[in-house]
Amino acid sequence: MRIEKTDFEGLLRIFPEVHRDDRGLFAELWQAARYEDLWPELSFVQDNFSVSKKGTLRGLHFQKKHPQGKLITVLEGEIFDVALDLRPSSKTFGRVYTVSLSADDLSQVYIPEGMAHGFLTLSPVARVFYRCTDFYYPDDEAGILFSDANLGIRWPEVGELTVSEKDRRAQTFFEWRQSVGL
Ligand SMILES: Cc1cn([C@H]2C[C@H](O)[C@@H](COP(=O)(O)OP(=O)(O)O[C@H]3O[C@H](C)C(=O)[C@H](O)[C@H]3O)O2)c(=O)[nH]c1=O
């Protein structure tokens, strides 16, 4: 297993070892002891799973008072994953991290608490499994508009998008900053 740091504090790329043989494959997607030195205090309390057809865009979502760290693995297909840094003290505040994640190598991204998260489905189907460091609090959820031109997210061209009404009506990054006095 290989772990790569990124320019974003706490945001990591993880490449689990994939054991392949004539039956198929086996991989450990999480093994607490192995990450102890990296994340001594990290613990997951909720596992999520979503299935999306090509062109489905979910996000950018975050929880205000109960931020969630997310360890994301694509179990089938491929997604274009996006994280927006909402941490005012971060040197990458307001910057966006993007990465394509595929079931082909089961590579993961850990998005730390304090970032908004979303993804675009690139394959006919994407089955996304992610572990969260806090519970879901629906009343605490918020979003940032995925198409906010000021964020400069270069979403891949996949044809027609499928986006929830909630996500289409999300606030821009500037509106969010104004709402929290930043
Ligand atoms: C997030 C969540 C949702 N739900 C229920 C609420 C709705 O009835 C249904 C779909 O929820 P939503 O449209 O918010 O699902 P996504 O658009 O995939 O939301 C996720 O999108 C981006 C990619 C994220 O990173 C977040 O984990 C999460 O916000 O599942 C739950 O029961 N528990 C949950 O933790």
Residue-level pLDDT at 47:
98
Catalytic choice (35, 61, 97, 110): 61
pTM of the predicted structure, to 2 decimals: 0.96
How much distance in Å is there from the Cα of 36 to the middle of ligand 1?
A: 28
Nearest CA to ligand 1 atom 31: 136
Ligand 1 touching residue 136 (CB < 6 A): yes
Is pLDDT at 64 greater than 90 in this prediction?
A: yes
What confidence score (pLDDT) does residue 131 get?
96
Closest Cα to atom 2 of ligand 1: 136
| CB of 131 shorter than 6 A to ligand 1 | no
Per-residue pLDDT at 109 exceeds 80: yes
Task: Kindly state the tokens that stand for 13.
Answer: 């790329």
Task: Tell me whether residue 30 is exposed, middle or buried, using C-beta atoms within 10 angstroms of its C-beta: 0 to 12, 13 to 18, 19 or more.
Answer: middle
16 C-beta closer than 6 A to ligand 1:
no
pLDDT of residue 142: 98
Per-residue pLDDT tens over the stretch 23-58:
999 999 998 887 776 677 788 999 999 999 999 999
> Domain of 158?
2-179
Ligand 1 pocket member 61 (CB < 6 A): yes
Query: 19 CA to middle of ligand 1, Å?
Result: 31
Q: Are strands 108-111 and 115-121 parallel, antiparallel or unpaired?
A: unpaired
User: Where do we find the tokens 């109960």?
Assistant: 66
Task: Name residue, tokens 């001594």.
Answer: 40
Q: Assess whether pLDDT exceeds 90 at residue 106.
A: yes
Residue whose CA is at the smallest distance from ligand 1 atom 12: 58
Q: What is the mean pLDDT of the chain?
A: 95
Q: Write down how long the chain is.
A: 182
- Tens of pLDDT, residue by residue over 67-84, are 999 999 999 999 999 999
Q: Which tokens go with 95?
A: 């910057």
pLDDT in tens, 130-168: 999 999 999 999 999 999 999 999 999 999 999 999 999
- Centre of ligand 1 to C-alpha 22, Å, is 36
Q: Among this protein's residues, is 130 annotated catalytic?
A: yes
Catalytic residue among 97, 110, 117, 130: 130
Q: Which atom of ligand 1 lies closest to the CA of 118?
A: 23
Q: What is the CATH number of the domain that holds 30?
A: 2.60.120.10
The domain total for the chain is 1
- Segment 88-105 shows an average pLDDT of 97
Q: Where are the beta strands (DSSP E) in the chain?
A: 2-5, 12-15, 18-21, 24-27, 46-53, 57-63, 70-76, 78-85, 96-102, 108-111, 115-121, 125-132, 141-143
ipTM of the complex: 0.97
